[in-house]
Structure 1
Amino acid sequence: MLVSGGTDAIRLDLVAAEAGVSKGGLLHHFRSKQTLIQGVLDRLVERFEAELPPSGSPPGAFTRAWLDATIPDTDVPAGAHADLVAVALLAGPSGGPETLESLRRCYQVWQDRLAGDGLDPATAHLVRLAVDGWWPARLLDLAPPRDDLHRQVRARLAEMIGQEG
């Protein structure tokens, strides 16, 4: 709902109906729209974190996992698994200052891990920024690379990490 209609589409009665629960049942878990959006962000961050390697992994492993978890090898329709991260990016600012701050804390941890991943820190940062720009381009259909160009751009990012695309 957040992706298709923006934050205005997130109304607790509509969310409850979409989830097949009563509004009261939804309110039992989420007191407000902001706590619901925070919950969405928390769940998406957990799912994203599960795809990232643990500390102490070989050099470049975290940066490669960042790329793999977010940009599929081939161009796939919008709404695919990798787009869940874009939803988290949208949820951050739309959930209010506390939710945005929560997302900022996650990003600082991730950036620190990228910077300490054993690659040139500028390369790791550049890969993150390229990936972060890719999500909204795909999600909002802002002229994302398609088909062969998608594969070429992704392969170039993988080469920057020092691994084959």
Structure 2
Amino acid sequence: MRDRILDAVEQLLVSGGADAIRLDAVAAEAGVSKGGLLHHFRSKQALLAGVLERLVERFEAELPPAGSGRGAFTRAWLDATIPEDDIAAQAPADRVAVALLAGLSGGPGVLSAFQRHYETWQDRLAGDGLDPATAHLVRLAVDGWWMARLLNLAPPRGGLHAEVRARLASMIEEDA
């Protein structure tokens, strides 16, 4: 039931943003009673924290272990966050956008947990064997890309999506 509830929260975040996360709306979307929802998650913040943690676990499963070779973590970061083909902004597969929404709208506790994950990831990027500026630039470009997608701030589309992604990938390969 817990996963069904978190799936519902993700769907509501994608379709309606953080304002759509109301306990009654989540219960209805998940097909559970409000009491069943409250048994697993006591508040909106707990729901958003649960979504964020589940997405972080999935994201980390796509990343290589420490010591995987020069540039491996930075390449995996790019591959796990920007698909080769352009997908519609806020599509259900847009897990990064959902994580950003959860982190930004879950209050200080959820945001601080997200910030701690980012510190760990940034440390791994900086120690990936690439020039730290290259690894940092890739992370910042990816983060900007997802913020543009999340807020529909003219993100790259179609051929430009592929070209920008290819340039980021070539930066990594040239430095590896």
- Cα RMSD, aligned residues only: 1.2
Matching residue within 122, 131, 136 for 1:111:
122
In 2: Cα distance, 1:125 partner to 1:5 partner? 32
Structure 2 residue ranges without an equivalent (≥5)? 1-11
Q: 1:80 to 1:148 in 2, by over 3 A?
A: farther
Counterpart in the other structure of 1:24 = 35
CA-to-aligned-CA distance 1:98-153 (integer Å, 9 cap, x gap): 10100000000000000000000000000000001111212332211111111110
Structure 1 residue ranges without an equivalent (≥5)? none
In 2: Cα distance, 1:47 partner to 1:69 partner? 10
**What is the TM-score of this pair, normalised by structure 2?**
0.88
Counterpart in the other structure of 1:53 = 64
Q: CA deviation at 1:80?
A: 5.0
Q: Secondary structure at the match of 1:27?
A: helix
Matching residue within 127, 131, 147 for 2:142:
131
Matching residue within 144, 150, 153 for 2:155:
144
Q: CA deviation at 1:35?
A: 0.5
**What is the TM-score of this pair, normalised by structure 1?**
0.94
In 1: Cα distance, 2:51 partner to 2:100 partner? 11
Runs of 4+ in 1 over 4 A off after TM superposition: none
The number of aligned residues is 162
Counterpart in the other structure of 1:38 = 49
- Opposite residue 163 of structure 2, the aligned amino acid is Q
Q: CA deviation at 1:3?
A: 2.9
Q: CA deviation at 1:20?
A: 1.0
Q: Secondary structure at the match of 1:162?
A: helix
CA-to-aligned-CA distance 1:60-110 (integer Å, 9 cap, x gap): 0100001001111121222153x2112111211211111010000000000
